[in-house]
Each structure stands twice: as C-alpha cells, then as structure tokens.
Amino acid sequence: MRPGLVLVPVLIASLAGWLVAAGEPAWGEPATFSALIGQAAGLADQPALAIWAGHPDQTIDEGDSPSSTRDQGTASEAWGLAGPASPPLTVAEAVAQALAHHPRLEEARAGLAASRARVRQAQAAFWPSVVAAADYEEKDLPLSALGMGPLLRGPLTPPRLHSVVWRRGAGFRMPLWRGGRDQAALAAARLEQRGQEFALAEVETDLTALTIEAYIEVEKARELVQSAEEHEAATRAQLDRIARTVEAGLAVKYDRLQIEVRLEAARETRLVARHALETARTALNLARGAAPDAPVSTRPIVAFPLATGTLDELTADLLARHSGLQQARQRAAEARQLERWERAGHRPEATLQGSLSNYGADHPPRERGWTVTGTIEWKLFDGGWQQARVEEARQKRRQAEAAVADLERELRAALEKAWLAQESARQRLAVTRKGLELASEQMRLADIQREAGYLTVVDLLDKQAELTQARVAMIGARYDTYLSALALWRLTGRLSPDLVAAIDQAEP
C-alpha cells in the first residue's frame, strides 16, 4: 500500500483525538490576581516581561511551522470566526474576560463574603448583649387567687386586688467562660475564611488555565485547518494537471480516478478540521464567559514558556503554592478547631447578667431598682449527646486530614505525569521538525522528478501526503508541548499574570 493511502485515517484520527481533548476543561489575594490580569491584557504592545525574576525560562516557538507566516485576518474571515473589523483576541484579554464575566467567580466571591460574616458572628460572642425593655402589667384578682382564705377577709379587706405596674429599663448578659468554645469557634471561622480565599484563588486559577487551554486548542485547530486546505488545494491542482494530460492522451483515466478519490478524502479531512475549529471556538467562548456562538478571532501563539527546574523543585512549589492543596489544609485545620469546640462542651460555663429599671404604678415609672445574677452551669449527664458530637467531630477531622494526604498524592502523580509529558513532547517536537524538513526536501525533489518525467502523478501525490502528514505531526507535537507546560504551570502555582502577558509578548 502506498504511504499516501493511509494519510486520511491518520489525519482523521489525529483530528478526532484533538476534538476529544478540546472538550476537556483543563496566589496571593484573589482580587489582586484579577486586577493584575486586567492590567496584563493591555501589555501586548510593550516589551516582553521576564516570567520569573532570575528565572529565564525556555520557550517553544513556531520555528519551522508551515503556518508561522499566515495572514490572521484573512484566515479568520475565511473560517467565519470573525468579521474583518474584529481585532484578534490576545491571551491576556481572553483571561481578563473570563475573570470578569464567568459565573463561577460570583459563586466563589459570595462564599468568601459569607465566611467573613461568620467571623463577625464568632467575634460577637465575646461582647455582652445589651437590651432595652418596657413592661406594663395590670392585674385584677380575687383574694383566693393569692391564697388568702376566708379567715383573712374582713370588713376592711377588699374582695378583690387591683394593681398596675409600669417598668422600663435596660439589661445585659455576658458569658464569662464557656470552656473555650468561643475561642475555638472564632479560630474555626477564621480558618474557614482563609479557606474561602484559597477557594476563590483556585477558581481564578482554573479559569485562567481553562481559558489558555481553549485558546491553544483554537490555534491548533486553525493550523490543522490550514494544513488540510493546503493539502486539498495541492490535490486539486494535480487533478487539473492530470485532466489536461488525459485529454492530450498522455495519461490514463485510472490515474484521474485515483486523484479524484484522494481529493474527496482531502475535502472530508478539511471538513472535520473545520468542525473541530468550531468546537474549539465554542469552548473558548464558554471559558471566557461569552455566548457560545459569539464571533472570536485569536492571535498566533509564536512561543510558550516552558516550566523549568527539576522534578523535586517543581514538587516543592506544588506543595507550597497549589491553591487547591492549601484549601484542603485549611479545611483540615478548621475540622481540628471544631473538634476542640465540641470537647469544650464538657466544661462548665459561667454567665453574668443584670438589669437596671424604673418601677411605678403611674407612667412614667420613677422608682429605681436593679438586679445582678451570676450563673455557673456544668452539664453532668445528657444521655451521651455531647460525647457523640465530639466523636462526630473527631471523625470529620480524620476525614479532612486523609483528604489532604490523598490530594497531595494525586497532585504529585499529576505533576510527574505532566513533567514527563513535557519532556516527551519536547523530544517529539524535535523529531517531527526533522521529519518535516525531510518531507519538504523529498517534495522538492519529487517536483523536479515529475517535471522531468521520472515520477508519476500518483507518486507525487504520495509525497504531498507525506508532507501533510509531517506538518500535522509537528503541529500536534508543538501544541502538546504548550499544553504540558501549561499543566506544569498550573500544578506548581506559577500561573501568574506575568506568565499570561509573556505568552502575548513572546517573539518567534
């Protein structure tokens, strides 16, 4: 079987694999990160920033990419992605839109606001509660209602008693000691607030990574569309040439039929590529919080910074900076505080309360009186209710600590996988570049041999198919390198606004 005959299934399989990947979604204070991203969206025309001070990371550039000199505006019009007046969207602009409009952020911000309110609730337990009250009481009772028998009744004793009492004043209640429950509750509320801050940072990180991934997938699909269109155009040109030679009697009809079959296969490949591009565009719109069918055009990604460092160094960054892991640790610490809060239920509680009021039969009352009451309560027996709550809190604490350990193991495995994927993609990119150089040289020689009559048109199409296959392989390897590097940046907590801006400012 000729090598060109296997081109179509290879291309379709490659594009289908990309189509599946395109549908998969993939720091300090959260508000600061959002603001910095918004600033980074306006840095596309400024000189490139250093990604990390003293850390000149390597980059993967387009290099020998057959699409590195394409006309962005013309391609966008041809593929129906945007009108000619729509400026291309930069990576920083796409991320800024995601952080401004995505509904997941509103949910995370509401959770953070609720946790801050719970901190204020816990702080209020240390202050006395003060109330103002006003009472009016009027009674008209028979003497028997007061326990006065017939012997106490006389001619001077009224048959009924009538009284009116007005009271107005203020009172207070202050817990003096509750076994440390208030302190534990405040500590747990503060830990919850910190956990919600990490949760917001996690959402921002996820949206940033998801948007960049979708942007990369759009660019990858766009280059695959261009490669498919170039292959279709080359096949159509050969069909026109063979048609003229058949009419001149210099070729047989069988050669023409072979080229027509290949042209139909090239059209099908181009159609699959365009559908994949539309899917990638929809994913980008969803990631940035826009309508799925909104017009959008992107700029070529000419280079992408690689995550440098040894696996041990990257692991140390992951353990120290990954927002999801930090959030899990906060939940475990919060569970430990809640266990202390439940254990404090076995200790005695002391409360002080009092009031200062004016009393009188007429309004306004003018006779002043006060009360002060101190109370100590110690629960001696409750049927095991408090001990059961302590046991529940203890098991929840163990559950949270186990979740931290499990998440740490999963993140270590994911980091090692992403690191190996980046190394593999870099090596594959070097191999596919050499393969593209070889296929390009073979195509050049095949054109010469065809003009000299030493090569059939079918053999020439085989060489053209090999060149297209080499281009597709290099496109896949280059964008796989981008995606693996993005995964490493995400896992190690290095997905910063400077990195986002550096992607737009990179030069080939």
339 vs 327: CA distance, rounded Å: 19
Radius of gyration of the chain (CA): 38
470 vs 468: CA distance, rounded Å: 5
For residue 5, name the pLDDT band (cuts at 50, 70, 90).
Answer: very low
SS3 357: strand
Asked whether residue 356 is domain-assigned, the answer is yes
pLDDT of 463: 87
With helix as H, strand as E and coil as C, how does 19-73 read?
HHHHCCCCCCCHHHHHHHHHHHCCCCCCCCCCCCCCCCCCEEECCCCCCCCCCHH
CB burial readout 153-185, b (16+ within 10 A) else e = eeeeeeeeeeeeebbbbebeeebeebbebbbbb
Number of domains observed in the structure of the chain:
1
Asked whether residue 503 is domain-assigned, the answer is no
pLDDT of 78: 38
Q: Cβ distance 210 to 98 under 8 Å? A: yes
Which residue from 501, 508, 507 is spatially nearest to 44, judged by alpha carbons? 501
pLDDT of 307: 84
pLDDT of 38: 52
> Residue 6: pLDDT above 70?
no
pLDDT of 147: 65
Asked whether residue 451 is domain-assigned, the answer is no
Lowest mean pLDDT among 222-226, 311-315, 453-457: 453-457
pLDDT of 18: 38
pLDDT digits 0-9 by tens, 148-174: 556 556 666 677 778 888 888 899 888
> Residue 72: pLDDT above 70?
no
For residue 12, name the pLDDT band (cuts at 50, 70, 90).
Answer: very low
Residue that wins the pLDDT comparison between 3 and 394 = 394
Asked whether residue 155 is domain-assigned, the answer is yes
For residue 31, name the pLDDT band (cuts at 50, 70, 90).
Answer: very low
- Here the CATH number for the domain that contains residue 173 is 2.20.200.10
Query: Whole domain around residue 152: which residue ranges?
Result: 129-179+347-377
> Residue 26: pLDDT above 80?
no
- Is the peptide bond prior to 295 cis by the omega test (within 30 degrees of 0)? no
> Residue 111: pLDDT above 90?
yes
pLDDT digits 0-9 by tens, 203-262: 999 999 999 999 999 999 999 999 999 989 988 888 887 777 766 665 567 777 888 888
pTM assigned to the model? 0.71
pLDDT digits 0-9 by tens, 336-379: 999 998 998 888 989 999 998 888 877 788 888 889 999 998 88
pLDDT of 85: 44
Q: Are strands 349-360 and 160-177 parallel, antiparallel or unpaired?
A: antiparallel
